Chains A and B, each alone.
Chain A
Amino acid sequence: MKKTTTFILTFMLALGALAQGEVVSKYFDRFADNEDFVKASISAKMFSLFTELEAGSDEEKEFLKAVSKLKGMKILYGDSVANSKKLYSEGISDVKKAGFEELMTVLDAEENFHFAIKEKSGIISELILVSGGKKGFSVLSLYGEIDLKNISKIARSMQLDGLSNLEKMDEKKNDD
């Protein structure tokens, strides 16, 4: 009985790991042959290499600590997309259908950002960002064990502009 339970739990965990990054993967397949979109994927192996790096400054130490619990990242982006507004709406709808919970939306004259998370027992296992502007569209997924406070640090170090919007959540909290 114990063996069966262990097997089922392991199987479910494996399925859960496979499902991570699924929303972005769908867009990877859809635009596989479209050179207007850049498709980037960083695996758990790459993040494990980051953890081997020697940190010099405090900023580097913070960055390495923040990435140490990440299992992967997938990004699709295009900055010259004809139907960016339609893609942005589709993206938000796909994220909702995949069972993500909305975290924050930033509406801007130039670009809109939609953040959503998958959370269980207080642990965020995946963060998705969909952004769309006049010509640009991007969808990003970060998965692993995610601490939102650290994500903006990663965003700053990796120059992921959209994710730095998460800092606005902290600013809002401080204003309240």
Chain B
Amino acid sequence: MTKKSFFIGLILWGLSQPLFAQESILKDFAEERNSSKYCLYPSTLRMLNLKNNEAYTELANSFEKFLIYDLDSTTASDKSYRGIMKDYRSEDFEEYISIIGGGNEVLILGEEKRTNEMVGVFGMDGKVFVFYLLGNIQWQKIPTLINTLSENDLINIFDIKMDEWD
């Protein structure tokens, strides 16, 4: 390896660190446990769009990466996932919304200045999902999406039973 390519490699690695570092907090946590992982990209998100809803397609195209982890029951009940949300706060992620109590939990944190990332928790009836989202999301499409989307227009990925595919 030449000196020049070594330095270029080093600079690229350095530039990529903030991106990977932010994602890895959640990834490392969830993948050490028995969590089910859903990794969605614009192409996979578009495939869920059974009725070709235009607003949905535009919204899906603005996602770069969407990771969802369905946490195992032990992790969901020990609430250790709250620790990683603290880690994100210390990485300058700001709180958008938090709802806790009555058996439900919603927390969304975002970092827009450097990387357009969001992380969050959705918990209901003992089930807990954590997510990581990267992309310049077209929020303005959401009202149109809500107004035009009907039940069964999208495939519910959480209904897909992977064990039935074996």
Contact = CB atoms under 8 A, between A and B. Distances in A.
Contacts of A46: 96-97, 108
A56 B145 CA distance: 12
Contacts of A10: none
Given A35-B102, A35-B103, A41 B143 contact: no
Contact of B99 (A36, A38, A49, A78): A38
Contacts of A36: 101-102
A45 B139 contact: no
Interface string A24-38: 000000000011111
A92 to B, nearest CB: 22
The interface centre, meaning the residue of B99, B101, B140, B144 with most chain A CB atoms within 10 A of its CB, is B101
Given A35-B102, A36-B101, A37-B101, A53 B95 contact: no
A55 interface: yes
Contacts of B139: 49, 52-53
A40 B98 contact: yes
B140 A54 contact: yes
B140 A38 contact: no
Contacts of A56: 143-144, 147
Interface in A47-80: 49, 52-56, 60, 78
A54 B101 contact: no
A108 B17 CA distance: 59
A23 B143 CA distance: 33
Given A43-B96, A45-B96, A49-B96, A60 B143 contact: yes
Contact of A38 (B104, B142, B143, B144): B104
Nearest to A74: B98
B99 A39 contact: yes
Contacts of B102: 35-38
B12 interface: no
Nearest to A75: B99
B94 interface: yes
Nearest to A35: B101
Nearest to A47: B96
A42 interface: yes
B142 A53 contact: yes
A45 B94 contact: yes
Given A52-B139, A54-B143, A45 B99 contact: no
Interface string A153-173: 000000000000000000000
Given A40-B98, A49-B139, A60-B143, 20 more contacts: A36-B101, A36-B102, A37-B101, A38-B102, A39-B98, A40-B99, A40-B100, A41-B98, A42-B97, A43-B94, A45-B94, A45-B96, A45-B110, A46-B97, A53-B139, A53-B140, A54-B141, A54-B144, A55-B143, A56-B144
Interface of A: 34-43, 45-46, 49, 52-56, 60, 78
